[in-house]
């Protein structure tokens, strides 16, 4: 039973690790997505700028996070 629970814990840990290995990075992505989904359709309805902003924010988060990690060495 203990071995089974340990196996389940390991699988759960791996499943969470699929999506999050840097909490700050994941939090920024989710925060931007919440803003984009709730605000962009209201601020820029039917505008092609809205999806471009969605992409630009995510690209910026990716570059910022990678550069921060590289600077830490």
Partner 1 sequence: MTFAQAAPTVLAALMASLVEFVEALTVVLAVGVTRGWRSALAGAGLALLVLAGLTAALGPAILAVPVRLLQLGLGALLLLFGMRWLRKAVLRAAGVIPLHDEAAAFEKERRALSGPDRSPRAARALDAVAVSTAFKITLIEGVEVAFIVVALGAAGPSALAAASLGAGAALLLVIALGFILHRPLAMVPENTLKFGVGVLLCAFGTFWIGEGAGLAWPGGDLSLAGLVAGYLLTALFARRLCAAPREALA
- The sign one gets for the Cα dihedral 68, 30, 14, 18 is negative
Q: Is 46 left (phi over 0), alpha (psi -120 to 50) or beta?
A: left
CB 33 within 8 A of CB 62: no
| Minimum separation from the CB atom of position 11 to partner 1 (A) | 6
Q: Write the binding mask 17 to 56 for partner 1: x where contact by CB under 8 A, - elsewhere.
A: -xxxxx--xx--xx--x--xx--xx----xxx-xx--xx-
Binding residues for partner 1 (CB under 8 A): 3, 7, 10-11, 14-15, 18-22, 25-26, 29-30, 33, 36-37, 40-41, 46-48, 50-51, 54-55, 58-59, 61-63, 65-67, 69-71, 73
């Amino acid at each position: 039973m203990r071995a089974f629970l340990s196996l389940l814990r390991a699988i759960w840990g791996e499943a969470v690790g699929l999506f999050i290995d840097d909490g700050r990075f994941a939090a920024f992505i989710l925060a931007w997505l919440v803003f984009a989904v709730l605000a962009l359709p209201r601020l820029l309805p039917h505008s092609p700028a809205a999806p471009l902003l969605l992409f630009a924010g995510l690209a910026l988060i990716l570059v910022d996070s990678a550069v921060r990690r590289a600077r830490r060495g």
